[in-house]
């Protein structure tokens, strides 16, 4: 029976600073490996080796692979939302949306479009395997989308967008274009499809500008 199939008891006592650092190291290693290999192709042995932890250390923090993956969903989601808040919480103009688009494309171009969105790739693998993970991913995507729609609301409230613009629908369109762009860029190992998808979505937003040059 593999490590993934064996549920080991976890110690729920207060975690020391050293324990917190070990848990963080395990999650960081799992994040790196699963981004490149995927969830199903990454084993606990892979993670133990990459994080330089023993089996007892890993099972001290995570009962089995499912618990580790669920923790990684939360961990990765927090990283993504932290990154996105940095730009989207200040979004008040169409040029700000363009800067957001450029930053995402630039980051993805460093890997020639490979690996896609860390959240999207997990959603593809886990949505039909783990309802708790699926629900957590859905909540994170919703929070990400709200950051976009809040910025669009600020644009509409300030008079940059027409009153008939629907920030929620526009945000959903931008998110769909982004995730579809990640997927196609990953398949092509080329960031160009992501650029096209986002640019078309931005053109739709632009059509609601009161003064399109802005």
Q: Which residue ranges make up each domain of the chain?
A: 1-63, 72-214
Looking at residue 9, its pLDDT comes to 44
Q: Which of 122, 107, 117, 18 is nearest to 68 (CA)?
A: 122
Confidence of residue 213 (pLDDT cuts 50, 70, 90): low
Name the architecture of domain 1-63: Orthogonal Bundle (1.10)
Taking only the tens place, the pLDDT of each residue in 4-27 is 444 444 444 566 888 899 999 999
Span 109-114, average pLDDT: 87
Which residues, at least 6 apart from 195, have a Cβ–Cβ distance to it below 8 Å?
A: 105, 181
Residue 122 predicted with pLDDT over 50:
yes
Looking at residue 91, its pLDDT comes to 97
Q: CATH classification of 72-214, choosing from 3.30.300.90, 1.10.357.10, 3.40.50.10420, 1.20.950.20?
A: 1.10.357.10
Looking at residue 14, its pLDDT comes to 63
Span 53-73, average pLDDT: 96
Looking at residue 5, its pLDDT comes to 45
Taking only the tens place, the pLDDT of each residue in 27-40 is 999 999 999 999 99
Looking at residue 8, its pLDDT comes to 45
Looking at residue 144, its pLDDT comes to 98
Whole-prediction pTM: 0.88
Span 74-94, average pLDDT: 96
Taking only the tens place, the pLDDT of each residue in 148-202 is 999 999 999 999 999 999 999 999 999 999 999 999 999 999 999 999 999 999 9
The answer to whether domain 1-63 and domain 72-214 are alike in fold is: no
Which residues, at least 6 apart from 62, have a Cβ–Cβ distance to it below 8 Å?
A: 10, 26, 68, 71
Looking at residue 113, its pLDDT comes to 82
Looking at residue 7, its pLDDT comes to 44
For residue 209, list its beta bridge partners. Answer: 161
């Amino acid at each position: 029976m593999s490590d993934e199939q064996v549920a080991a008891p976890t110690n729920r006592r207060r975690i020391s600073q050293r324990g917190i650092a070990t848990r963080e190291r395990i999650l960081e290693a799992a994040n790196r490996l699963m981004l490149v290999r995927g969830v199903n192709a990454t084993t606990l042995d892979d993670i133990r080796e990459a994080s330089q932890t023993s089996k007892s250390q890993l099972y001290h923090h995570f009962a089995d692979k499912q618990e580790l993956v669920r923790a990684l969903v939360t961990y990765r989601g927090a990283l993504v939302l932290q990154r996105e808040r940095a730009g989207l919480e200040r979004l008040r103009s169409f040029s700000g949306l363009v800067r957001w688009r450029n930053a995402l494309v630039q980051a993805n171009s460093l890997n020639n479009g490979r690996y896609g969105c860390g959240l999207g790739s997990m959603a593809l693998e886990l949505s039909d395997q783990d309802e708790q993970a699926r629900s957590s991913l859905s909540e994170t995507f919703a929070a990400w989308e709200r950051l976009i729609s809040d910025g669009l609301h600020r644009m509409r409230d300030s008079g940059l967008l027409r009153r008939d613009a629907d920030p929620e629908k526009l945000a959903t369109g931008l998110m769909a274009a982004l995730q579809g762009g990640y997927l196609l860029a990953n398949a092509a190992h080329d960031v160009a499809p992501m650029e096209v998808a986002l640019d078309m979505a931005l053109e739709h937003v632009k059509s609601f500008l009161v003064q399109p040059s802005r």
